[in-house]
Amino acid sequence: MACESGLPECVQQAVQLFQQWRAHPDTNPISPALRQYMYCTAVREGSESDWFFVLTRYRQETSPGEKNLLLRALPCSSDVWILSTLLDMSLEHTDIKRDDATGMIGWVAKNPAGNRLAWDFVKHHWDVIIRHFAQSPSRLKTMLRAFIAAQTELGIGEQTLRQAVETVEFNIKWYKDSYPQLVQWLQDKGYFEFQGAETTST
């Protein structure tokens, strides 16, 4: 997409259409087929006020498809404070659902303005992240792969990251193979009551 590569004409059009939308929020002039790229471009090139407009629209949106497009635009910002705020939001589960949290961290990691920030955030909050997503190891794997993609910019040893992904993949296999049996055994022994225990898909 031309906007992703920074083609001036595309960037200018994205910003103009986005500002038209801001001026008349009930009428979105951006084609649905182009919104993923144009939202991201407008947020990347825009102000803090533009970002908050997208966040507000995300909070108000009822269509799952449009809501996802708005969510994916939020980590496109070049503002480090905004990206830091997003990372904090990813663990609060108020605006950003638990299912989207590791995705958000990964999206920030793919942003050149946020890859180091996201890596430091994950290192600092690793224990919390593990607790939050103990039953979603596949999401952890996806998040770590985002850091592999940003490995050159981060200066992190690729082998270190790949070992982390392999560890998560092993945990996924263990979880799928062993967790249901473990739950059943604990239930049979009367230790815990598990409600709707589910296995995790990759």
The model's pLDDT over 138-188, given as tens digits with 9 standing for 90+, comes to 777 777 777 766 655 555 555 666 666 666 666 656 555 655 565 565 566
**Average pLDDT over all residues of the chain:** 80
pLDDT of residue 116: 85
pLDDT in tens, 61-93: 999 999 999 999 999 999 999 999 999 999 888
- Tokens at 31, concatenated: 């084609």
CA distance 77 to 46: 8
pLDDT of residue 123: 80
**Cβ pair 89, 95 in contact under 8 A:** yes
Q: Tally Cβ neighbours within 10 Å of residue 150.
A: 21
Longest CA–CA separation in the chain, Å: 67
pLDDT in tens, 33-53: 999 999 999 999 999 999 999
Q: Using CA atoms in the order 15, 20, 26, 27, what is the torsion angle rounded to 10 degrees? A: -90
What is the distance between the terminal CA atoms of the chain, rounded to a whole angstrom?
Answer: 29
**Confidence category of residue 194, pLDDT binned at 50, 70, 90:** very low
DSSP string over 29-84: -S-GGGHHHHHHHHHHHS-HHHHHHHHHHHHH---HHHHHHHHHHGGG---HHHHH
- Tokens at 86, concatenated: 């997003």
Which range, of 3-12, 91-100, 106-115, averages the lowest pLDDT?
3-12
pLDDT of residue 202: 43
Instruction: Please classify residue 129 by burial: count the beta carbons closer than 10 Å to its beta carbon, then call 0-12 exposed, 13-18 middle and 19+ buried.
Output: buried
pLDDT of residue 183: 53
Q: Nearest to residue 41, comparing CAs of 82, 79, 3? A: 3
**Cβ pair 56, 90 in contact under 8 A:** no
pLDDT of residue 196: 43
More confident position, 16 or 200: 16
Rounded to an integer, the average pLDDT of 99-109 is: 88
Rounded to an integer, the average pLDDT of 21-29 is: 96
Rounded to an integer, the average pLDDT of 130-145 is: 72
pLDDT of residue 144: 72
Share of the chain above pLDDT 90, in %: 44
